[in-house]
Amino acid sequence: MKICWVGLGHMGLPMVVHLHRAGFDVSAFDVSAEARAAAAAVGLRAPDTLLEAAEGAEVIFTMLPTGDHVRKVLLESGLDQATAGAMCVDSSTISPAQAREISAEVAGTGRSFVDAPVSGGTAGAEDGTLTFMVGGTAEQFAHVTPLLEAMGRRHFHVGGTGCGQAAKLVNNMMLAMNMASVSEAAVIADRLGLDARTFWEIAQVSSGDSWVLRNFYPIPGVVPTSPASHDFAPGFTALLMRKDVGLALDETSAHAVPGAMTHQAARLLDQLIQAGEGHLDFSAVVRVAAGELPADTSLAG
C-alpha cells in the first residue's frame, strides 16, 4: 500500500516516521522546505512537489492546520487527477460540517474520505501512542486500521463522516477547560503557600486528579515533561487550541448549549494571544491566571 503524507509539523512528522518504520511505502510532503529536509534526514522520501509525493498513492493522509488547507490539498492542487480512487484520511482538526462537505466533494472525484483526528499531543505522536477517532463506514475503518495501529495505541470507529471530528472537538473543549481550571488552582495553591510538588502529589490521588494535572501541571519543575518545565515550548500552541475551541463554540451555538465554561477558556486563550504569546503551548494560560498578562474582560469568547 503506497501512502502519501501531507503535513510535516510537530504532529505530522513523528506520525509518518512511525508509518515508515512499520514498513509502509511512504512519500511525505510539506510546503516548507525545512520540514521536507527534516523528513529526509530521518530517512523518508520527501520530494519537492505534492504531485511527486502523491504519484501512485492509494492512501493520502493530511495533517494540516485548518479545513481550508485540507480542501486546498485534496481538491484544488491537482491531486484528484494524480490519485484516482485513493482513500483520503484527514487527521487534522476541522469542523464536522467541513469534514462532511470535503467528503462529498472528494467523492465527486472518485475518491473516498475518512476523518481521523487524534488525541495524545506531540508526546503521543513521537511515542506512537495516539488515540484515533474515526468517522466513516465500517469498511473504511477496517481498511485504515493497520495504518492507525502503526501510529497509535487506540483507534475508535465513532460513526459516520464527521463523527471523528465531533469527538475530537468535544475532547479538546474539555481539555481547554481543564487546563484553565488546573492553571487557576495551581496559582492559588502557590499563593496559599503550598509546596507545588506536594500539592501535585496530593491532587493526583484525590478528587482533583486529571490528565492535565498529571501531564501538564503548569508550574515549572513539578512535571519534567510538562511544557511549563520547558518555557512553554509547544506542544500544542495557544493559537491552535483557540482555533479548536472556536470550532467547539460554533457547535455549542448551533445546538443551543450555552457553553459558558468554553467561552471562559476561549477568553483566557484570547488574552494570551493578544499579549503576543500565542506561539507558546496552550498551557501558558497559567500566565493569565497568575495575572502576569494584562486582563481584558472585553475580549469575546
Enter the pTM of the model.
0.91
- Quote the pLDDT of residue 63: 97
Report the DSSP beta bridge partners of residue 119: 131
pLDDT of residue 300: 41
pLDDT at 282: 97
Longest dimension (CA), the chain: 64
Active site residue 168: yes
Cα Rg of the chain, angstroms: 20
218-249 b/e (C-beta count within 10 Å ≥ 16 → b) = bbeebbeebbbbeebebbbbbbbbbbbbbbbb
**Domains in the chain: ranges and CATH:** 2-159 (3.40.50.720), 166-289 (1.10.1040.10)
pLDDT at 297: 47
pLDDT at position 295, please? 55
Q: What is the rounded CA–CA span in Å between residue 127 and residue 169?
A: 23
Q: pLDDT below 70 — which residues of the chain?
A: 294-301
How far apart (Å, rounded) are the C-alpha atoms in residues 152 and 168? 15
